[in-house]
């Protein structure tokens, strides 16, 4: 007979985080992958207590590998009008594309307000309302959980609208959907990388937990090629420090890499290429296996130098 414990919710969040700015916001920043997984975004923290005129937004961030800007406002109490007003002010001041409001408890009028904003703002703007909960079983450690209460519901519709009239984008979306389903059912891969949302882009980015670089997977249709690379954004010194370890890195990988400093550009790339049949669906699982293997090897080999 298996003994089962009772799940108990800890209502007073300040038992764990006494102060919103000094305790809770730093914790959210340090555990941003947990929040990102809840809202379905790969988030990189750029600043905490980031200035907006005379005010500060709790967390200013970006979606890893894209230009989408994210603001996160934290509240260890029930939602209120004051924070809703701040949220809109900060979103305007930072030109945010994604706005995330993390609270202890979402009141009905504020759920309705976030739903209204998602319906009536531009389809490229998204508002999320998340509750943070704490649980424990008996004398176990306290476990946090983000619960998404309201989220944008028209992004998926926009993707369907685009893909219905564009077969190329439809194929990309199907490819990435199958890749996500395949790759993240693998425990080794899902342990190392956060699950990504499939899109119509020809690339998919995976976070390494650094704002300086990430892993990017690209479908190059015109060359029938898959690229997996370490993409370094605006940090030439990082590229130069990595290339000093070129022989050791390639030896550990068991792969020859194409080291592209790209001095005329802000970004640098370290690339592995493979010729494939992108239109042959029967070959997709084989391609996914290769991509997963290279991604895992890249993360292991480069992480010690980043």
84-136: pLDDT as tens digits: 999 999 999 999 999 999 999 999 999 999 989 988 887 778 999 999 999 99
Task: Report the distance separating Cα 8 and Cα 136, nearest Å.
Answer: 5
Q: Judging by DSSP bridges, how do beta strands 98-105 and 126-137 pair with one another?
A: parallel
pLDDT surpassing 90 at residue 179: yes
* Residue 2 Cα to chain centre, angstroms: 37
For residue 155, pLDDT beyond 70: no
Phi, psi values for residue 107, rounded to 5°: -75, 155
Q: Answer whether 93's CB lies under 8 Å from 99's CB.
A: no
The band of 161, judged by pLDDT with boundaries at 50, 70 and 90, is low
pTM of structure: 0.55
Find the largest Cα–Cα distance for the chain.
Answer: 67
Question: Would the pLDDT of 65 be above 70?
Answer: no
Dist. CA 25–CA 18, nearest whole Å: 11
pLDDT tens digit sequence for 219-245: 999 899 999 999 998 889 999 999 999
> Do 246 and 252 meet the contact criterion of CB atoms below 8 Å apart?
no
Over residues 36-41, mean pLDDT: 87
Q: Of the ranges 32-46, 53-67, 130-144, 280-294, which one carries the lowest mean pLDDT score? A: 53-67
Specify the DSSP element, H or E, that contains 46.
strand 43-52
Q: Of 74-78, 202-206, 256-260, which gets the smallest average pLDDT?
A: 202-206
Quote the tokens at residue 134: 């704490």
CB atoms closer than 10 angstroms to residue 160: 11
What is the token pair recorded at 59? 């967390």
Which residues lie below 8 Å from residue 152, measured CB to CB, with a gap of 6+?
118, 125, 126, 127, 128
Domains of the chain, earliest start first: 7-153 (3.40.1350.10), 157-303 (3.30.1460)
């Amino acid at each position: 007979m298996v003994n089962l414990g009772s799940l108990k919710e800890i209502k007073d969040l300040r038992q764990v985080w006494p102060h919103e700015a000094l305790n809770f916001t730093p914790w959210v920043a340090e555990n941003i992958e947990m929040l990102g997984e809840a809202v379905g975004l790969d988030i990189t923290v750029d600043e905490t207590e980031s200035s907006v005129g005379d005010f500060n937004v709790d967390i200013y961030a970006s979606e890893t590998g894209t230009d989408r800007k994210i603001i996160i406002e934290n509240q260890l109490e029930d939602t209120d009008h004051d924070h809703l007003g701040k949220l809109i002010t900060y979103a305007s001041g930072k030109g945010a594309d994604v706005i995330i409001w993390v609270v202890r408890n979402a009141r009905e009028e504020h759920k309705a307000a976030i739903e209204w904003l998602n319906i009536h703002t531009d389809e490229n703007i998204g508002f999320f309302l998340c509750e943070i909960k704490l649980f424990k079983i008996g004398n176990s450690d306290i476990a946090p959980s983000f619960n998404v209460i309201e989220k944008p519901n028209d992004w998926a519709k926009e993707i369907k609208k685009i893909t219905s009239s564009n077969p190329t984008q439809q194929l990309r979306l199907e490819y990435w959907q199958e890749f996500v389903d395949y790759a993240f059912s693998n425990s080794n891969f899902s342990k190392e990388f956060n699950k990504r949302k499939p899109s119509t882009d020809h690339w998919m980015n995976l976070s390494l937990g650094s704002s300086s670089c990430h892993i990017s997977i690209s479908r190059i249709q015109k060359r029938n090629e898959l690229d997996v690379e370490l993409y370094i954004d605006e940090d030439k010194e990082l590229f130069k420090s990595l290339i000093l370890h070129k022989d050791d890195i390639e030896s550990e990988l068991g792969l020859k890499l194409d080291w592209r400093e790209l001095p005329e550009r802000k970004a640098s790339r370290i690339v592995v290429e493979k010729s494939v049949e992108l239109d042959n669906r029967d070959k997709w699982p084989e391609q996914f296996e290769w991509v997963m293997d290279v991604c895992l090897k890249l993360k292991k080999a480069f992480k010690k130098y980043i």
